[in-house]
């Protein structure tokens, strides 16, 4: 492995993005919101990672995966079972432990799932959806602030607008998720670990035992 190659894992939660960088072992935390994701992308622009690995976590990872893909960072969103099987086989996880950013960075370093760039039309679509999502969130924040100071018929009008904005945001999030899952940054191959020496056989044996 070249000395300059950096592998980054991102542990995504509702409020935060926990980042681990290998081989340096450095850790960073960003907020999982528009500003935090923008700051993370700027940071990664300086780090120039060889690969960024995220676990698919119920859609929470989609905005940051989308932003990284648009910025041309090599990113791979992997199946949670792949990360857990790898962590167990390499002795980095007990049965009840949580997958963390360090494990995901190590997964990227050892397994190296392919990270193919987005096509121009995919980048444009994701960029447009992400921009629209940002606008809707901004309008929701403003309307909710106005609601606290309103009353009577105006309050009712604002409440209706908030409901409409939330419905539109849900729709945009759904479309964003479908677009990301159909892009080459999304990896769900079950045989991804079989090519890793010393890991593949253990993972296969464990899955047969569990099955």
For the chain, the average pLDDT equals 86
Give, as one character, the DSSP assignment of residue 51: E
User: Judging by beta carbons within 10 Å of its beta carbon (0-12, 13-18, 19+), is residue 72 exposed, middle or buried?
Assistant: exposed
Q: pLDDT, tens digit, for every residue of 143-172?
A: 999 999 999 999 999 999 999 999 999 999
Provide the pairing of β-strand 75-78 with 186-187: parallel
pLDDT given for residue 16 in this prediction? 96
Over residues 91-105, the mean pLDDT reads 77
CA angle 121, 82, 84 (to 5 degrees): 135
pLDDT given for residue 189 in this prediction? 55
Q: pLDDT, tens digit, for every residue of 178-187?
A: 888 888 888 7
Of the candidates 20, 55, 51, which has an alpha carbon nearest to the alpha carbon of residue 188?
55
> Does position 4 have pLDDT exceeding 90, yes or no?
no
């Amino acid at each position: 492995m070249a000395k300059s190659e950096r592998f980054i894992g991102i542990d995504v939660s509702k409020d935060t993005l926990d980042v681990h960088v290998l081989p340096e072992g450095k850790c960073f935390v960003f907020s999982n919101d528009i500003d935090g994701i923008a700051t993370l992308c700027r940071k990664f622009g300086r780090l120039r990672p060889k690969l960024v690995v995220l676990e698919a976590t119920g859609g929470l990872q989609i905005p940051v995966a989308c932003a990284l893909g648009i910025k041309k960072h090599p990113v791979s969103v992997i199946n949670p079972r792949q990360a857990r099987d790898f962590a167990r086989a390499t002795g980095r996880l007990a049965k009840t432990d949580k997958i963390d950013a360090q494990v995901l960075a190590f997964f990227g370093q050892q397994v190296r799932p392919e990270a193919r760039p987005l096509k121009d039309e995919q980048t444009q679509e994701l960029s447009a959806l992400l921009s629209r999502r940002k606008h809707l969130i901004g309008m929701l924040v403003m309307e909710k602030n106005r609601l606290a100071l309103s009353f009577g018929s105006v309050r009712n009008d604002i409440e209706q607008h908030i409901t409409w904005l939330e419905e539109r945001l849900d729709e945009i999030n759904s479309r964003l998720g479908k677009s990301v899952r159909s892009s080459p940054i999304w990896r769900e191959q079950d045989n991804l670990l079989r090519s890793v020496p010393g890991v593949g056989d253990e993972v296969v044996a464990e899955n047969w035992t569990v099955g």
